[in-house]
Amino acid sequence: MTASNPVLPGCHPDPSVCRVGEWYYLVTSTFEYLPGLPVMRSRDLLRWQTIGHVIDRPGMLEFDGIRSSGGLYAPTIRHGLGRFWVVCTLVDRDDPSRGGNFVVTAEQPQGPWSDPVMLDVDGIDPSLAFDEDGRVWMHGARLAADPAWHDQTEVWVREYSPAQRALVGDEHVIWRGAVHGAVWAEGPHLYRIDGEWHLVAAEGGTEFHHAVSVARAAAATGPYQGNKANPVFTHRHLGRRTDVIGAGHADLVQAPDGSWQALMLAMRAADGHHYPLGRETFLCPVEWQDGWPVFAPGEGRLPHAIAAPWATGTALDGSWQPDDRRAGAVLPQDSRWTALRALPAEIARADGDIWRMPVRSATLRDATKVAFLGIRQQHADADVRCVLDVGGLADGESGALVVRQSEQDHAAAVVTRTPAGTVLSVVHVRGGDEHVLAEKRLPDRVQIELRLRARGYDLEFVHDGLAVATVDARQLDASSTGGFLGLWLGACASSAASAPRGELAIMTFEYAPADAAG
């Protein structure tokens, strides 16, 4: 079949993949959203089905207080010694002591995953590789101890002892980026292929200048020789006249037909700059030439259409097909739901097809457990229809349809109960400053239908068939706001500063790519 890139639309950055028999398993970063680290499986690398999450129990890690774009960074998934392994980093920029690199393992990829074991090493983007003799080589990226330029990082390698559940032996610094001045050599993955060790690492930062470099060595610990063609893959030289930017952070895998492929992140940016959907997962063909991996051979860029002769058979139930056109209600049991710094079940309870969400005093501006549930925006043109029942809200409390980037940057159609009646306002919090774009009184009804009509960079809030206000998605995307996230669409309830008393019911939440919505 032919499929289209990205294979995982919406905010799915830092993909990592492993193969066990006929199955592929993939994880991506989830930052402050929970459940954390979705585990997806596929038989063809194109159609991915969510089968669980690595961080899915209260107390596995503590997220309260972690600001947006902190939390769970680039995970790696591998299978070895009869188990599944995920290594990852919890990042808290305000309190680094609670964060760090950790390991979890599971018998089955859908879980249960073990409680995290913290590793005694700084930095981000841990990965691991299994040697033929049973040794486990952990590696990761961190700021260089003795940097030659600002934000130079280094890749370290050290043996991991499963018995001691700790790093053991000497540490080796094996890589500091290929290009002089390259920032953020990161996302390293080591592979043992045909008797040699290969390093694939990102550099240039995960934005416009993102790139992939490769190196190889006879031993896991080096010394590594970089490819003379480094960086071997990037879109940065295309300039802004391309609709896919920032390609990098690759993980290698063999397709069912024996061909090599990479999954990596990149961003769809219609204007070459702004990417409201965030960093998405793309598939890229790889070919070995002269002992080196060549990405998108003969083409040099991520294909829009993927020729995948190995992909036959029907899609897995509920899988995200490339060019997915699944539309309709996102029911409470749908694995797309996420909450902020808490599990959805801690924030709301499912009552049939309805979410009942007790109001909290926190607002979207607070880096805490907000009464918010949301899903990723996965298509530039999409429609959301949300019916909120505000009958259970107390005076002064509000329910909202939300487009979220972070505490500092979000937009919402907010319905507030007041003694004088119900008020609808559209607010845009931009760089922490609140702008009220529209405000009107609503007739006294408890069920309020709110719609969001996303068309490229225009995000239009609609009530009663009328556009209430339009927000520019270019002001909400990470290239404007900073951070690592794409946009989330969801519902939120708050009593602002006062003690919460009521409950918001999310009666309906429908998401549809625009051309499927009609």
* Token representation of residue 445: 């009804």
* Closest to ligand 6LW by CB, 56 or 251: 251
Binding of ligand 6LW by 156 (CB under 6 A): no
Interacting residues with ligand 6LW between 468 and 507 (CB under 6 A)? 484
Whether 510 sits among the annotated catalytic residues: the reply is no
Cα distance between residue 219 and residue 222, in whole Å: 5
Question: Minimum distance between the CB of residue 113 and ligand 6LW, rounded to whole angstroms?
Answer: 19
Question: Do you find a cis peptide bond into 256, omega within 30 degrees of 0?
Answer: no
Stretch that binds ligand 6LW, among 76-84, 200-208, 332-340, 460-468 (CB under 6 A): 200-208
Q: Which of 11, 74, 174, 506 binds ligand 6LW (CB under 6 A)?
A: 74
Binding of ligand 6LW by 33 (CB under 6 A): no
DSSP string of 425-471, one letter each residue: EEEEEETTEEEEEEEEEE-S-SEEEEEEEEETTEEEEEETTEEEEEE
Beta-carbon-side half-sphere exposure of residue 167 (alpha carbons within 13 Å): 22
* Closest to ligand 6LW by CB, 206 or 416: 206
Stretch that binds ligand 6LW, among 48-56, 145-153, 182-190, 452-460 (CB under 6 A): 182-190
Q: Is 516 helix (H, G, I), strand (E, B) or coil?
A: helix
Q: What is the distance, to the nearest Å, from the Cα of residue 26 to the centroid of all Cα atoms in its chain?
A: 12
Binding mask 231-260 for ligand 6LW (x = CB under 6 A): ------------------x-----------
Q: Is 481 helix (H, G, I), strand (E, B) or coil?
A: helix
Binding of ligand 6LW by 13 (CB under 6 A): yes
Q: Measuring CA to CA, how many Å separate 430 from each of 16, 148, 267, 434, 475?
A: 33, 36, 22, 6, 8
Taking phi first (over 0 means left), then psi (-120 to 50 degrees means alpha), and beta for anything else, what does residue 378 get?
alpha
* Token representation of residue 364: 């979207």
Binding of ligand 6LW by 124 (CB under 6 A): yes
Question: Minimum distance between the CB of residue 37 and ligand 6LW, rounded to whole angstroms?
Answer: 12
Cα distance between residue 230 and residue 177, in whole Å: 9
Cα distance between residue 154 and residue 143, in whole Å: 6
Q: Is 479 helix (H, G, I), strand (E, B) or coil?
A: helix
Question: Minimum distance between the CB of residue 176 and ligand 6LW, rounded to whole angstroms?
Answer: 16
Cα distance between residue 469 and residue 221, in whole Å: 57
Stretch that binds ligand 6LW, among 76-84, 199-207, 308-316, 360-368 (CB under 6 A): 199-207
Cα distance between residue 347 and residue 359, in whole Å: 9
Whether 449 sits among the annotated catalytic residues: the reply is no
* Closest to ligand 6LW by CB, 124 or 384: 124
Binding of ligand 6LW by 206 (CB under 6 A): yes
Question: Minimum distance between the CB of residue 185 and ligand 6LW, rounded to whole angstroms?
Answer: 10
Q: Which of 154, 186, 203, 207 is catalytic?
A: 186
- Enumerate binding residues for ligand 6LW (CB under 6 A): 13-14, 29, 73-74, 124-125, 184, 186-187, 202, 205-206, 249, 484
